[in-house]
Amino acid sequence: MAAGAAAGTASGPGMAEKLYDLVVIGGGINGTGIAADAAGRGLSVLLAEADDLASATSSASSKLIHGGLRYLEQYEFRLVREALSERETLLAKAPHLIWPLRFVLPHVEGMRPRILLRAGLFLYDHLARRRQLGASRAVDLTRDPAGAALRAEYRHGFSYYDCWVDDARLVVANALAAKMGGAEILTRTPVTGLAAKDGRWALTLGRGASARPLSSRAVVNAAGPWVSAVAGLAAATRNVPPPKLRLVKGSHIVVPRLEEHQDAYIFQNDDGRVVFALPFETQFTLIGTTDVATTGDPRNATASDDEINYLLAVARRFFRRPPQKSDVVWTFAGVRPLDDDGTESVSAVSRDYRFELDTGSGAPILHVIGGKVTTYRRLAEAALTELAPHLPPCRPPWTETAPLPGGDLGPAGFDTWFTDLCARRPRFDRQALLRLARRYGTRVNNLLQDARVVDDLGPHLGGGLSAREVRFLRDEEWAREPADVLWRRTKTGLHVPTNERMALAERVAGVINGG
C-alpha cells in the first residue's frame, strides 16, 4: 500500500469517521514540525490545536536559534552539538525568519574566569561545523562599539555568534509546510476524546454539536505544558501513568532600545544564571529570561513583579543608562514543559527532549517531552523514526535541505533577494517592504500582488498594519482573533501606544470578521 493511501472512512456512531495515518495534538513548534515532516513523507496527517498556533510556549521564547552556551556547564554536550548543527540548517531553511546575531559577553570580576569562558567558547566553535557563522573572539570593550552601552567597569569580554528567530512565525511556516504536504490544520479545535479501539485511536475533536469523530493509526501528543492532560484523556483505555513534567516559567520584558548597534548581550548574574539583552523590533530591547517553577494554568502565565524587578536589576548592573520599571512597554511569559529528571535547580533541568512511546492495545501514542525551538526539526525526525514500525511505508527524511515556505530566496541570501525586491517595487516604502519581507519571505508577493505603494494595501489600521495584510493572515495563516495578528503573526501591538491597543484590536477584529 502506498504511503498515506490508508486515509479513508470507518463506520462510526451516526457518521463516517475519517481514518488518518497520524494525528498530531498541539500546534506549537514541535507539533507543527512533526506534522510537516510526516505530511512531506506522504502520510495522511491532521494537526489539532486547542487555541492558536504558537499560542503558548512557542511564542514566548527568547527568540533565539542557539546552541545553548550555558548548557556546556551542565555537560549537555549532545544537546549543544545537535543545536549548533541545527543553527546552520535552519538558517538556510528560513533566512527571512532567522539571521545571524553577534553576542557580547562581558567578563565579570569574581565570576567565571576568563580562561574558563575562553575554553567554553572554543568548544562552542568546534562541537559542530560552522558554514555561515563567525567564530568567537576576545573583545576590548573600551574600543568595541558594543562597549559604549555598558558601564565603564566592564572593559573585557568575548563575542560569539548565534541566530535570531521570529519564533511564532517559524511555527506558522511549519504549519504551512504541513498544509502544502496535504495535512489538515485545525486551530481552536481541542481534542476532547481519545480512546484506543481495535488497534486504532478513536478521537473526538471539539465539543457539543460541532464535535467531530475521526480515527488514526497513531497519535503524537505534542501538547507542550498540557502533555500530561492529553495523556489523561487516554487513561480509560490505557493503564499507564501520564508523563512527568517539570513546568518552568520564563518571563521577558521589552523596553525602548538601550543600544544603537545590532549586537546582543549575554550577562552573567550573581546567582549563576545568564540573562540576554537582544535587539528587538528595531526600536526595542528584549531582556530575559527567568526560571521559575510553576504549577498554575500555563494559559495564565504572566511576568510577575519579582521577575520584572529581577530582569531590571540585571540590566542596571550592566547598562550605562539602564531602564526603569516605567520604561517597560511589554512583558510576556511562557511555560516550558521540561523533563522531570529530579534536578533540584529549575535552571539546571535539561532542555533536551525525550519521548514516551505507548503501544498498548496496538494503538501507538508518542508523548513528546521537553525540547527547544532550535532542535524542533531533529525532534520531528526522531519522532517519526520512533513511530515508523506503526505507520505505513513512507518516504525518507526530507526536511534538512528543503526551505520552509517563504524561505526559497536563492543562494545569494536575504540581502541580495531583498535588493531585487526593492528594484521591482521602486515606489514602495523601503522600511515597510523590509518589514513585510522579513515576515513572509518570497510569499510577500502573494500579499502585495499588484500593489505599487503602501496605500494600495487598503486602509491603515495602525502600527504599519494594513487591512490587506490582516485579510492575508486570516485567509492564509489561520489568524482568527486580534491577538493572533497583533502579537503572534506580527508584533504590531508593540508599535502603538498602550492606550491605543484596544482600539487597534477592534479594527483588526472588524477586518477578520469580514470588514
**389-412 tens-digit pLDDT:** 999 999 999 999 999 999 999 998
- Judging by beta carbons within 10 Å of its beta carbon (0-12, 13-18, 19+), is residue 396 exposed, middle or buried? exposed
State residue 241's pLDDT score: 82
Q: Check: CB of residue 28 under 8 Å from CB of residue 54.
A: yes
* Torsion angles phi and psi, residue 419, rounded to 5: -60, -40
Mean pLDDT of 304-326: 97
| Distance from chain centroid for Cα 213 | 30
Residue 4 has pLDDT above 50, yes or no: no
Question: Which percentage of the chain shows pLDDT scores above 90?
Answer: 87
Residue 133 class from Cβ within 10 Å (0-12 exposed, 13-18 middle, 19+ buried)?
middle
Mean pLDDT of all residues in 437-449: 98
What integer best gives the mean pLDDT of the chain? 93
Residue 447 C-alpha cell reads as: 500579499
Predicted confidence band at 114 (pLDDT cuts at 50, 70, 90)? very high
Query: Where residue 377 falls among pLDDT bands split at 50, 70, 90?
Result: very high
Closest among 362, 391, 373, 400 to 89, alpha carbons compared = 400
Quick one: residue 198, left, alpha or beta (phi over 0 = left, psi -120 to 50 = alpha)?
left
Report the number of secondary-structure helices (H) and strands (E) in the chain.
Answer: 13, 21
What digits encode the pLDDT tens for the residues 120-136?
A: 999 999 999 998 999 99
Instruction: Specify whether the CB–CB gap between 416 and 69 falls below 8 A.
Output: no
* Residue 341: pLDDT over 80: no
pLDDT at 515: 66
Q: Quick one: cell of 227?
A: 502533555
Per DSSP, 503 falls in state: H
Task: Provide the grid cell at 17.
Answer: 469517521
**Pairwise pLDDT comparison (457 vs 242), residue with the higher score:** 457
Q: Alpha-carbon distance 211 to 397, whole Å? A: 34
What's the pLDDT tens digit per position in 140-159? Answer: 999 999 999 999 999 999 99
CA distance 306 to 324: 14
Say how many C-beta atoms besides its own lie within 10 A of residue 369's C-beta.
Answer: 23
Domains of the chain (ranges; CATH) run 8-56+169-244+351-390 (3.50.50.60), 97-165+246-337 (3.30.9.10), 414-512 (1.10.8.870)
Instruction: Give the separation between CA 273 and CA 275, rounded to whole angstroms.
Output: 7
More confident residue, 110 or 37: 37
Kindly tell me if the per-residue pLDDT of 491 is higher than 90: yes
Name the pLDDT band for 6 (thresholds 50, 70, 90): very low
Q: DSSP strand E in 351-507: where?
A: 353-358, 365-370, 460-462, 465-466
The DSSP-derived string for 72-135 is: GGGT-HHHHHHHHHHHHHHHHH-TTTEEEEEEEEE--TTSS-HHHHHHHHHHHHHSS--SSSPP
Residue range 484-501: mean pLDDT, rounded: 97
pLDDT at residue 9, as a whole number: 40
Contacts of 353 (CB under 8 A, 6+ apart): 30, 339, 368, 369, 370, 371, 372, 375, 379, 382
User: Residue 319: pLDDT above 90?
Assistant: yes
